[in-house]
Structure 1
Amino acid sequence: MTTDTAASFAAPRPQAGLLGWLEGKASWIALGLIGLLLPLLDDSYIGVIAQRAYIYWVLSAGLNLVVGYAGQIAIGWVSMLTLGAYTTAALAAGRVGPEWPAYLALAAGGVMGAIFGVIVGLPALRLRTFYFAMTTLGFATIVTQVALAWKDVTGGGVGTPGPVFPWPFDPGWGFYYFCFLLAALATWITANIGSSRYGRALVAIRDAEVAAEASGIAKPRLLMLIFLLAGALGGVAGGLFAALQSYITPDAFTFEMSVLFFIAILIGGRGSILGPALGTIILTALPEFAAPLVQWSTFLYAALLLVIVLLIPGGIADLLDFKNRRPLEQHREIVPRPELLPRVLDRSAPSTISLKNISLHFGGVRAIDGLDLEIRSGEVHGLIGPNGSGKTTTLNVISGYYRPSSGTMTLGGAELPFEQPYRRAEYRIARTFQTPRLVGAASVLDNVMIGGTVHGQASFSEAMLSLPRHRRDEKHLEQAAMQALATVGLETLAGVRADRLQHSELRFMEIARALMLRPAFLMLDEPAAGLSAEEIRRLGALIVAISRAGTGVLLVEHHADLIFDICDRVTVLNLGKELAAGTPAEIRSHREVVSAYLGA
């Protein structure tokens, strides 16, 4: 490897020098300066509006990870604001035992939000889309009804006074700076998560869940961590809200407020921190400067959302993404460099994946019927057959997505469990898919880094606080991703959004993502589909090089020439059964294979 190539691997994410840095930081610097200098206006009314915007953003920053990154439709997150507000107010007022210091009561509000954030998030592991949305709305209604009924603690319909924070964050501009600092802290924390392997994993779950599982991402644990953080931020926001209101009643926590939080994130743009922050500020300030429109707020929010969806589907974040409006080079060629594979793959001891008498039935349909198959290290094993013959189903069984009706599967003689597909990454079994599974709004580099999620060592807390081990993880993952992209010939496109790539480039990008796992076995599902003849030739050379580096490759493909050119062994399926198995030469001359699949 040349020095230049090695240096390119170690380089930071592609940026356009000072301009690229300004594109990423200028908006935050401007918002920070405005926030710090706003008290110079000495306008208490504007100060109150700004405090409200900061408080709402503390909640929305956490909700943004749930909605914008993880893709969960959590409309009733105002419940966390309610819980935090009443917890803080009741403890500070001495309604539950002795009076608590206001700051300690605020921390308790955050803890209460974290606990119930997890409780509310549990249904997300089973419920999807609008079913989960109804669950969050139902919980918000329950919280409001409890606040009305529990008069000894909440004051019922009469309400209860909010906490008063002592110096240095006493009411007025002191409290303003307290809200500003907590909003900045919430922004920093969520931005750290968003740009970490945890944030990339969330977006992968949102846009390409099966690819996330194939990369070893465990959805339940990650979602619970995110709901915990989002609930805590919502609880803290509630305590601040109670202090700002001075006196809180259940009718302060309206459905319109829930809609505001949710729509602010959608118009801001999914997978962005800055966009939803600006969306929250705009939707908070707009009714204050257009008071006659307050009674139409729900209608205006819905109309604004419709305009954004129709005209700017990516929201404010897309408007600010100047980098991805630059035209790409035309007539691009993919030139893989298989000689770089030793830096990408780990050569491990030879092993074999063995399937014995595997059967899988879907009702009365036998998708796989008594299949025996061996995938050996250092070989390319082709799996061919007519459409519906069970090829992709076989890959799904090996990948852990399907549990067969009968049969066993072993890796190196040890039984391989069928459930929990994300655990396949522990065995270094990687795969690609018939249709490229990509995170379109993320860069090519981020898409490939998703494949190395399991190699990170830093905990969620370390990523949240950007501690040294997290920063080392990110550096190593980035270097490995650049190596994988250079190997498949896409390193020059590392900083480009994945949805701007050509179909053939997406095929090679998926292979780069699979290589991030340093796989002992690689399952390729029709990787040559949609490629030109020259691209297929280069793909074949890359696959052979991967196998010769010690990786066992199972290749499902309809391009018979590719199969016969590069495979060491071939298995032919028909109606879920093995029709023939042997060397490419043996399969070419097999009468039943020619009749059923290859043609005359």
Structure 2
Amino acid sequence: MTDATSPISTAKAPAGWLGRLEGSWSWIALGLVGLLLPLLDDSYFGVIAQRAYIYWILSAGLNLVVGYAGQIAIGWVAMLTLGAYTTAALAAGRVGGVEWHPYLALIAGGAMGAVFGVIVGLPALRLRTFYFAMTTLGFATIVTQVALAWKDVTGGGVGTPGPVFLWPFEPGWGFYYFCFLLAALATWITANIGSSRYGRALVAIRDAEVAAEASGIAKPKLLILVFLLAGGLGGIAGGLFSSLQSYITPDAFTFEMSVLFFIGILIGGRGSILGPALGTIILTVLPEFAAPLVQWSTFLYAALLLVIVLVIPGGIADLLDYKNRRPLEQHREIVPRPELLSRVLGAKGEPSAIRLANIALHFGGVRAIDGLDLEIRSGEVHGLIGPNGSGKTTTLNVISGYYRPKTGSLKLDGADLPFDKPHARAGYRIARTFQTPRLVGAASVLANVMIGGTVRGDGTFVESMLSLPRHHNDEKQLKVAALKALATVGLESLADVRADRLQHSELRFMEIARALMLRPAFMLLDEPAAGLSAEEIRRLGALIKAISREGTGVLLVEHHADLIFDICDRVTVLNLGKTLAAGTPAEIRSHREVVSAYLGA
């Protein structure tokens, strides 16, 4: 069996039902506890459990916003308030004088939460960190004030009765099972999203937004979908909460409740479903068994969060992730297999070229690029060299769509490439790597590489949410493609290892594997040899040359002159944003100004 046709192997979890059971035992245990709790016939425990389920329904959606997308949404209690008042007011006939059926009123509460989830989430497309947090807190305050003032609908400070759900989910254990089933459904839906290409895209936006855009991930569209889902779940949780409370007033929706939801996710662990679920349950149950400390609840939540951050930064999820505490093999060697590239890149396309003409880009008074002409042809390695500050990475950023030049044109086969839309480059099959490796540290190497193929999936967000066939087909194809890419760069044995456990040189090759997922027509490499040993640089050069032979045009920014002259077909030398020289490696080696300004004696 030849190398090109040999099977690709990787470290995997136990196969078959045993492997699936190993990954699901925690959920099975929680499910059994929930199903069997009524056997205790203790209404007090039942009410506590109902509250925990309701809080988790909201937190399950919020977890996608905070834990996966990394948005600081502290005031999400507003969705609980909106859902509670909408459900209660409609069921009581306070809107239009017609009493809605409680279940229809609950659906309306979810819809109200979904609509306002998007409205509140829109600032996240422009605001960052604490600015967005203040926006959500401000909205929560506004909702509470409206509830106080709109007495005809909400009852004002007096409040309004909550709905009573009818058979088969009538008050008591019937309502308990209703909350349990909806919590299970919310868990299933969000777990499906978390394990899909959309979930990986969210964590890429959170931890490596620039790399996410380079992989074709459109942040605005994805965040709107997530806010819609998180708001809807928050509204449904509010409808259930209004029934559990029997009577709701604005005082029921406190700042401490917002803190509980937010901290429950953080102590559970970002990018996990099980961890935040356990965190929310713990924070819900804890005050019931420490009643004298309720007035100190906010302080205790903050202290618990501080302990988690200092002792277990990854939260409960890290405690449960025992596999990634196993020691890795020392003295690992990266051995790429360029002969597998044809399986990764597919058939060669028609010859094409990217042309930059008279590109100029200024940052204040600094001319980062000053009248640059450059052509990158398919099937060639084009080196871009020059001293620090000469404009090399800035040129890559212009081609990638991150910067809009002041003058000049950028064309692919004669057609203009749009600026200010870096996520659109993936559609043109233009991939890139970065000076500093951009990775999702808490995700596996395989998941990091699969992020590069996000745009190759066909299933919609709803299909992933409901785990429909096209979602499964996407995941299967992306996993196979990612394993091929990892085998090509020599990292297949580390597929299941967390990316933040890799050595620097391995991260360099992992980024190339992620770029290969686009089946790129052009690949932009920004100092891929930085930090590599001499042997690793030699193997990297052979891999880059093999990529170009498969028809991909490569633009290589690099300070290792020997690598440039060994593998490049053409070289452009920049100095102070201008072209100092351009030609073959032999011509550049003998160019007097280049030798004086850059290469030395």
Is 1:540 the counterpart of 2:541? The answer is yes
Is 1:54 aligned with 2:50? no
For the pair 1:147 / 2:116, whether they are aligned, the reply is no
Alignment of 1:372 with 2:373, yes or no, is: yes
Alignment partner, residue 111 of structure 2: 111
- SS of the equivalent of 1:457 reads coil
Q: Does residue 1:577 correspond to 2:578, yes or no? A: yes
* 1:419 positional shift: 1.9
Write out per-residue CA displacement over residues 261-295 of structure 1, whole angstroms, 9 at most, x where no aligned residue. Answer: 00000000000000000000000000001100100
Q: Report the counterpart of residue 434 of structure 2 in structure 1.
A: 433
* 2:273 counterpart of 1:257: no
> Paired residue for 1:84?
83
Contact 2:8 2:487 in 1 (8 A): no
Instruction: Report if the CA contact (8 A) 2:4-2:339 is conserved.
Output: no
Q: Is the 8 A contact 1:444 1:495 kept in 2?
A: yes
Equivalent residue, structure 2, for 1:285: 285
1:559 is aligned to: 560
> What SS does structure 1 have at the residue aligned with 2:190?
helix
Map Cα deviations across residues 208-264 of structure 1 (whole Å, 9 max, x no partner): 000000000000000000000000000000000000000000000000000000000
Segment of structure 1 superposing worse, 65-74 or 329-338: 329-338
CA distance in structure 2 between the partners assigned to 1:24 and 1:203 by the alignment: 21
Structure 2 partner of 1:510: 511
Kindly tell me: are residues 30 and 5 of structure 1, through their superposed partners in 2, closer, same or farther at Cα, counting changes over 3 Å? farther
Is 1:15 the counterpart of 2:13? The answer is yes
Measured in 2, the distance between the counterparts of 1:6 and 1:304 equals 51
Other-structure match for 2:326? 326
- What are the equivalent positions in structure 2 for 1:467-546 lying under 5 Å apart? 467-546=468-547
Does the CA contact (< 8 Å) of 2:102 and 2:165 recur in 1?
yes
* CA spacing shift, 1:6–1:142, aligned 2, 3 Å: farther
Pick closer, same or farther for the CA change 1:154–1:433 going to 2, 3 Å: same
Provide the rounded CA distance (Å) in 1 between the counterparts of 2:28 and 2:7. 31
Equivalent residues, number: 598
Cα–Cα, structure 1 residues 14 and 202, in superposed 2: closer, same or farther, change >3 Å?
same
Counterpart of 1:389 in 2: which secondary structure? coil
Report deviation, 1:21. Answer: 3.7
1:386 aligns with 2:387: yes
The alpha-carbon distance between structure 1 residues 589 and 4, as it changes in their structure 2 partners (threshold 3 A), is: closer
Q: Residues of 2 paired with 1:14 and 1:443: CA distance? A: 12
Q: Deviations over 1:445-471 (max 9, x none)?
A: 000000000000000000000000110
Deviation, 1:22, is 4.2
Identity of aligned residues (%): 86
1:305-340 CA distance string (max 9 Å, x none): 000000000000000000100111111110000000
Cross-structure match for 1:45: 44
- Please state whether the residue corresponding to 2:359 is helix, strand or coil: strand
Give the distance between the partners of 1:107 and 1:328, measured in 2 at CA: 50
Distance 1:8 1:84 in 2: 50
Which runs of 5 or more structure 1 residues have no equivalent in the other structure? none
- Displacement of 1:170: 0.2
1:7 positional shift: 5.0
State the Cα distance separating 1:390 from its structure 2 match: 0.1
Provide closer, same or farther for how the CA distance between residues 598 and 255 of structure 1 changes in structure 2, counting only shifts above 3 A: same
1:399-441 CA-to-partner distances (Å, cap 9, x unmatched) read 0000000000110111111121000001000000000000000
Aligned to 1:418: 419
- Which stretches of structure 1, 4 residues or more, deviate above 3 A after TM superposition? 1-9, 16-23
The alpha carbon displacement at 1:16 in A equals 3.8
Structure 2 portions without partners, runs of 5+: none
Name the CA distance, whole Å, in 1 between partners of 2:179 and 2:141.
Answer: 27
Q: Give the letter aligned to residue 412 of structure 1.
A: D
CA deviations on 1:475-523 (whole Å, 9 max, x unpaired) are: 0000000000000000010000000000000000000000000000000
CA pair 362-439 structure 1, distance change in 2 beyond 3 A: same
**Deviation at 1:560?**
0.2
User: How far is the alpha carbon of 1:526 from its aligned partner?
Assistant: 0.2
Residue in structure 1 matched with residue 29 of structure 2 by the alignment: 30
CA distance, structure 1, for counterparts of residue 537 and residue 165 of structure 2: 68
**How many angstroms apart in 2 are the aligned matches of 1:520 and 1:68?**
34
* Offset, 1:599: 0.4
CA contact (8 A) 2:3 2:339 kept: no
Contact 2:77 2:258 survives alignment (8 Å): yes
How many angstroms apart in 2 are the aligned matches of 1:16 and 1:529?
Answer: 37
Q: Using the TM superposition, give the Cα deviation of residue 4 of structure 1 relative to its aligned residue in structure 2, in angstroms.
A: 11
Does 2:72 match 1:73?
yes
CA gap 1:114/1:2 in 2 versus in 1, 3 angstroms: farther
Q: Which residue of 1 aligns with 2:176?
A: 176
Alpha-carbon contact 1:462-1:470 (below 8 Å) kept: yes
Shift in alpha-carbon separation, 1:259–1:341, aligned structure 2, 3 A? same
Deviations along 1:361-413, whole A, 9 cap, x unmatched?
00100000000000000000000000000000000000000000000011011
SS at match of 1:15: coil
Is residue 315 from structure 1 mapped to residue 315 from structure 2 by the alignment?
A: yes
Cα deviations by residue, 1:106-143 (Å, 9 ceiling, x for unpaired): 00000000000000000000000000000000000000
Structure 1 residue 163 and structure 2 residue 163: aligned? yes
Paired letter, 2:219: K
Alignment of 1:193-342 (within 5 A): 193-342=193-342
After TM superposition, the score normalised by the length of structure 2 is 0.98
The residue type paired with residue 528 of structure 1 is A
- Conserved in 2, the CA contact under 8 Å of 1:23 and 1:322? no
Q: Following the alignment from structure 1 to structure 2, what is the Cα–Cα distance between the partners of residues 274 and 23?
A: 14
Q: Pick closer, same or farther for the CA change 1:557–1:211 going to 2, 3 Å.
A: same
Equivalent residues of 2:287, 2:297 under 8 A apart: yes
Deviation of 1:23 (Å):
4.0
Check the 8 A contact 1:197/1:453 in 2, yes or no.
yes
Aligned-partner residue type, residue 543 of structure 1: I
Distance 1:323 1:7 in 2: 25
Q: How far apart are the structure 2 equivalents of 1:30 and 1:6?
A: 41
Q: Structure 2: how far apart are the matches of 1:201 and 1:19?
A: 29
Whole-angstrom distance in 2 between the partners of 1:416 and 1:6: 39
Distance 2:462 2:223 in 1: 14
Q: Describe the shift of the 1:4–1:527 C-alpha distance in structure 2 as closer, same or farther (beyond 3 A).
A: closer
Cα distance in structure 1, aligned partners of 2:6 and 2:170? 55
